[in-house]
Amino acid sequence: MRPVLFVLLCCALACEEPRIKVVPVTVQWMDWPAEVNAGQTFRARLIVSGICAADPRFHPGSTADLSAVTFAPYFVTDDRPIACADVRASDVLVVIGIDTAGLAPALAASVARTYEMRGATWAYTYAPNALTPSLPVRLFGSITVRPSGADSSRRNGAGTVYLLRDSAGCARVRPIAAWKADTALALDDQADTVNLSGAFVRGYIYDTDVPVCGKTRLFHLVARE
């Protein structure tokens, strides 16, 4: 190979952009305002499943249509091999679960109405021609949209949880991918705890003047699957 061509080839390889890949993740827990005003964007708290990747950049993947808001979160990462069992590089992140938020688009409502809240789930279905691999979604709950006067005192919440009990026997639920101690929520009904560990639950979070297990911010269980 001529020296000039060799130099040009090396320069081209050096300047080549790093390859990237898109890694979809599942929504383990979501909570959001029970009510919002029409035309108002709102933030939903998301706890999503983890990855091991190089330089991961998180995207909530929020969309809305005439009936629902959907979060299909994903990471954009460098497409290079990673030894996840022995990670030392500073630009590599092993994520057990990430507690973050996603901004939902503003929703329309000339009269009070509800939209479904949906999130990506476990089952993996790869769409080879899509910009991002796709994950099926499941229903997490609903949000009420009002022309005005929305009540901001309550948040709806849903996801897969563990059942925890503290030293005093107080029952709490913690999203399955959460690792921080303060993510556990005390149950307002301490007797209704059957088959909660590993269950997908729906309910709402609210503040009360009457503490339960010393907590005034409580989770009211509506349904479990």
Q: From CA 166, how far away is CA 178, in angstroms rounded?
A: 17
Task: Confirm if 48 and 23 have CB atoms less than 8 A apart.
Answer: no
In total, how many domains does the chain have?
Answer: 2
Same structural domain, 128 and 212: no
Q: From CA 181, how far away is CA 184, in angstroms rounded?
A: 6
Per-residue pLDDT for the chain (225 aa), expressed as one digit of tens each? Answer: 454 444 443 444 444 556 788 889 999 999 999 999 999 999 999 999 888 777 788 899 999 999 999 999 998 888 776 666 554 544 444 446 788 999 999 999 999 999 999 999 864 444 444 445 567 889 999 999 999 999 999 999 999 999 999 888 999 999 988 877 778 999 999 999 999 999 999 999 999 999 999 999 999 999 999
Phi/psi of residue 12, nearest 5 degrees: -65, -40
Does residue 131 belong to any structural domain of this protein?
yes
Does residue 33 belong to any structural domain of this protein?
yes
Question: 93 forms bridges with which residues in the sheet?
Answer: 53
Same structural domain, 50 and 140: yes
pTM of the model: 0.81
